[in-house]
Amino acid sequence: MRWQIARFTKVPSTQTMTRVLAESDSVEGRVIIAEAQTEGRGRGSRRWHSGVGGLYMTAVLRQSSAAGLIPLMAGVAVAKTIRVTADIDARLKWPNDILIDGKKVGGILAETAWLRGKVERILLGIGVNLNNRLPPSLSGATTLSDEKGAEIDINRFFHELLNHLEHGLYLLEESPNGILDAWRGLSSTLGRQVEVTTSPGKTVSGVAVDIDQDGALVLDVGGRRSRLVSGSLRDATVKF
């Protein structure tokens, strides 16, 4: 992969900016990275707090196969980067969260553009809390510098992450089972009693037993297997 990196001080959203650029010039490997975002977002309508000191980026990908595994692949890449750069045990929560001791430190946002029934491009957004300060209201989140007790080198983290993404993209083409196995090994979801909200008013509860070849979560619901392709997950073993 030849990464074409454009750096910005502050943008509304790297995802939005990249989408606009991709509509006129969809260059594979284009990466937009910003020091801060004013309108950062996660999945759905969730806001992503994006103060100076974090890593906020979006990459344009053209994945011909296993495109549905892109979010899992990216999660593995971020978790491995955290382990390499900070020596911290990062874990993955289905479908797209990166956790440290149960607190969210990063997230993935993958958006797909289709053309005549085929995937034309994927905008892969990644946000990781490195040295940025979080508002007190985000008690379920953390930053890498808080966990490490030292400031994180953002440039080193970014380039290490690109290396892991490149390897992950290779595995998606040559050995997608390698991505699935890596995700399973880093999972904080499998083996737990969970609740997954798939749509307003609809929640499925069961034990998370696996992910399938498409990255869907497989639940054991009273002895019956249920396959979920998306949703918001809560660990039902944790009391609030």
pLDDT at 58: 96
Q: Any residues with CB less than 8 A from the CB of 123 and at least 6 apart, and which?
A: 15, 18, 19, 22, 58, 59, 60, 61, 110, 111, 112, 113
pLDDT at 114: 63
For the chain, percent of residues with pLDDT exceeding 70: 93
Greater model confidence, 113 or 208: 208
Looking at mean pLDDT, say which of 21-35, 63-77, 173-187 comes out highest.
173-187
In three-state form (DSSP H/G/I as H, E/B as E, the rest C), the secondary structure along 99-161 is: EECCEEEEEEEEEEEEECCEEEEEEEEEEECCCCCCCCCCCCECCHHHHHCCCCCHHHHHHHH
Residues of the chain with CATH 3.30.930.10: 4-186
Residues of the chain with CATH 2.30.30.100: 193-235
For 82, list phi and psi in degrees, rounded to 5. Answer: -60, -45
For the chain, percent of residues with pLDDT exceeding 90: 74
pTM (2 d.p.): 0.93
pLDDT digits (tens, 9 = 90+) for 34-74: 999 998 876 656 777 889 999 999 999 986 678 889 999 99
pLDDT at 152: 97
Greater model confidence, 218 or 19: 218
Evaluate whether 152 touches 130 at the Cβ level (below 8 Å).
yes
Greater model confidence, 179 or 40: 179
Tally Cβ neighbours within 10 Å of residue 176: 19
Statement: residue 238 has pLDDT above 70: no
Strand order through the sheet with 217-221: 224-228, 217-221, 202-211, 193-199, 232-235
Indicate the CATH number of 193-235 among 2.30.110.10, 1.10.10.10, 1.20.1440.230, 2.30.30.100.
2.30.30.100
Statement: residue 96 has pLDDT above 80: yes
What class is the 4-186 domain?
Answer: alpha beta
Greater model confidence, 118 or 236: 236
Q: Helix (H, G, I), strand (E, B), or coil: what is residue 66? A: coil
Task: Give me the residue label for tokens 């979010």.
Answer: 71
